[in-house]
Amino acid sequence: MVVGDFAEEIDTLVVGAGPGGYVAAIRAAQLGQKVTIVEKGNLGGVCLNVGCVPSKALIQAGHRFHEANEGAENMGITSKGAEVDFTKVQEWKGSVVEKLTGGVESLLKANKVNIVRGEAYFSDKDQVKVSTDEYSSQTYKFNNCIIATGSRPVELKPLPFGKRVLDSTGGLNLEEIPKSLIVVGGGYIGIEMAGAYANLGTEVTVLEGESRILSQGFEKQMTQPVQKKLKAQGVDIQTEAFAQGVEESEDSVTLTAEVKGEEKTFEAEYVLVAVGRRPNTEELGLEQIGVEIGERGLIQVDEQSRTSVDNIYAIGDIVPGLPLAHKASYEAKVAAEAIAGEAAAVDYLGMPMIVFSNPELASVGYTEEDAKEAGFDVKSAKFPFQANGRALSLDVSEGFMKLITRKDDGLVIGAQIVGPNASDMIAEAGLAIEAGMTAEDVAMTVHAHPTLGEITMETAEAALGMPIHIT
């Protein structure tokens, strides 16, 4: 018997409380909406709980351990015998997650957003039934709705998830550092996890179906330093490799793969599958109310994140585009502002993409290749980290920045960085693109010395044909 099911009327309903959903709820509330957010799992979604944040914590722990063991003999520093208490690493990682998810709840409450724990199902174009447990549910009648239900890891038929075949969540929550690990997928998740565990002393093998790792969104010259570093750490990278099957034993797993047309077997303690993510759009009742769902389960939306049903919006991993947390947050603000009647619309040119590899990769706007394919007459300029004083003093001088500008007016339309702190440095290039700045504007901006940020100024000067610190 269902009890307590009298419809509650609200202005805006948000389904999902990840980096898209909670941001949408807060912005809608700031714009005067009466907002309810529904979440069946943990506040913060995949990113805060089992994705972006905990993976970066694990990556940082790996860096610290690797540095402690390697020392810096060229600086006169030697160190030996560093050890890892992986239980404490996991506890620390959990504490970081707990602080952030608790902060999300506080922010929602501070903005007077009503938080409902349960599973949503659309019964009409303006109505959702939320099941809070087996015996109770609540109906909400809304004026507008923003769907932000996120995604989950793709499971491969030849590699069903189990005790020793893990998704990214399982890979982050191991109780002990594995002695050996096979990573299936050489995209950003796979490479980040491979690097983290290699730093912690794990023997890592990466199997990638393409001809090179990190092929989506990054040019070959960008990824070469990352591949070189991984190989120096002992990571075995197998490209044009396709998993065929797996056999699990009590303490190991054997994976069979076709590598460049030849069958090979690989053995390790665990297999981590990181070949992409699948949108969570099933079992919501969307199709029966007329929401158009395209290929791969992605919801079709317009430039304001509106679906084929006028009062229902969709954001984040469930709409076309890369599954990035900051993309979801950006779309969240656009959708909330569109509901409030503002002329907001998405523009993805300034959307950064980052890989927390070693060295880090970052890209925003057009690559040189993409710009040419789009019909632009462009100029590319590069500046190496090894010509920067701060990079040399940090002893991390590998990599470069590349700036893409239009030839006729010097307008900045793209940038790529491979090197230390690329994830932070890319923001300035994104601002330049968003603000319609030219290479001259960037070059004329005074950058403090000595900083890594000077590399952006130096690259802009190279684009103008007047570099100071390179010939």
Q: How far apart, in whole angstroms, are the C-alpha atoms of residue 293 and residue 319?
A: 9
Contact 275, 191 (CB under 8 A): no
Two tokens at 400? 């470069």
252 is in an annotated binding site: no
Token pair 């893990």 is at which residue? 166
Q: Which of 63, 326, 447, 449 is catalytic?
A: 449
For helices 21-30 and 86-110, angle between their N-to-C axes, nearest 10 degrees: 30
* Cα-based distances in Å from 448 to 152, 248, 332, 456: 42, 55, 34, 11
Task: Please give the Cα distance from 206 to 186 (Å, whole number).
Answer: 7
Report the phi/psi class of residue 45: left, alpha or beta, with left for phi > 0 and alpha for psi in -120 to 50: left
**Pair of tokens at residue 357:** 């590899």
Strand duo 236-239 + 203-208: pairing: parallel
Helices (H), 208-314: 220-232
191 is in an annotated binding site: yes
Cβ atoms of 111 and 7 within 8 Å: the answer is no
- On whether 294 is known to bind a ligand per the annotation, the reply is no
Q: What's the CA gap between 446 and 223, in Å, rounded?
A: 30
**8 A C-beta contact, residue 303 and residue 346:** yes
Q: Which two tokens stand for residue 151?
A: 């995604």
453 annotated among ligand-binding-site residues: no
The CA distance from 64 to 227, in Å, is: 20
- Clarify whether 449 is annotated catalytic: yes
Query: Nearest CA to 29 among 8, 12, 7?
Result: 12
- Is 187 flagged in the annotation as binding? yes
Angle in degrees, 0-180, between the axes of helices 188-199 and 52-70, rounded to the nearest 10 = 40
The rounded distance, in Å, linking the Cα atoms of 203 and 190 is 14
User: Tokens at residue 408, please?
Assistant: 């006729």
Contacts of 92 (CB under 8 A, 6+ apart): 57, 61
| 295 marked as part of a ligand binding site | no
Backbone angles phi, psi at 404, to 5 degrees: -110, 120
Residue 56 known to bind ligand:
yes
Q: Is 331 annotated as a binding residue?
A: no
Q: Is 188 labelled a binding residue?
A: yes
Any known ligand binding at 261?
no
**186 known ligand binder:** yes
Q: Which residues are known catalytic residues? A: 449
Annotated binding site for FAD: 56, 149-151, 317
Annotated binding site: 56, 149-151, 185-192, 208, 276, 317
Annotated binding site for NAD(+): 185-192, 208, 276
